[in-house]
Chains A and B, each alone.
Chain A
Amino acid sequence: QKEVEQDPGPLSVPEGAIVSLNCTYSNSAFQYFMWYRQYSRKGPELLMYTYSSGNKEDGRFTAQVDKSSKYISLFIRDSQPSDSATYLCAMRRSETSGSRLTFGEGTQLTVNP
């Protein structure tokens, strides 16, 4: 069983829709959670970084962490064609930023105009 499960999609939505992306994890030692966006043939770009249960909002993006259920989500409001990309969840055990990350498989999102 993988430590981090993420539905690879593909997910296709119309412009303006609310998008929900999710990851589950099995190891309760994971304490720090990230969402990265990766455009084709580019490096991942950090979108959200959280370390506590609850919600964190940044513009159209909201990251949600539920440590009791071992479940994290990323919501995108008013989705735009420019949001079309692969979204990767990532997590780590240690507070140390130099610790390795464990990634989900990534969800491929297409927002249709």
Chain B
Amino acid sequence: GAVVSQHPSWVICKSGTSVKIECRSLDFQATTMFWYRQFPKQSLMLMATSNEGSKATYEQGVEKDKFLINHASLTLSTLTVTSAHPEDSSFYICSASGTGGPSTQYFGPGTRLTVL
């Protein structure tokens, strides 16, 4: 099956610092990657969609200067939370879809971000 990894799985940082989260598709080429945010006991909230080599498309209300997304290759997308604040603490999950098999989105294991 299609495998998507995320790194790190858990990160704690101080307020004001930046944090980078990596999302990799391990066995297929991900032409499109998605970034979600999930609060406890809530469903997934789509933050942005990125296509390889193009600028990400952000959902309404998501600050693109705060959540920087780069999809530089067919197997890697990164989400950088800039100048993180405690309210950015959340569970961030990426998903990927693309050529070579997957007919829908496959999700990574998620990254838990805690901003002190």
A→B interface (CB under 8 Å): 32, 34, 36, 41-46, 49, 88, 92, 97-98, 100-101, 103-106, 108
Contact = CB atoms under 8 A, between A and B. Distances in A.
Given A97-B32, A104-B43, A106-B43, A34 B104 contact: yes
Q: Point out which of A32, A36, A44, A106 has the most chain B C-beta atoms below 10 A from its C-beta.
A: A44
Interface of B: 4, 6, 31-32, 34, 41-44, 46, 49, 51, 91, 93, 95, 97-98, 102-110, 112
B32 A98 contact: yes
Q: Point out which of B51, B106, B108 has the most chain A C-beta atoms below 10 A from its C-beta.
A: B106
21 contacts: A34-B104, A41-B91, A41-B112, A43-B6, A43-B93, A44-B93, A44-B95, A46-B106, A46-B107, A49-B104, A88-B43, A97-B32, A97-B97, A98-B31, A98-B32, A100-B46, A101-B46, A103-B43, A103-B44, A105-B42, A106-B43
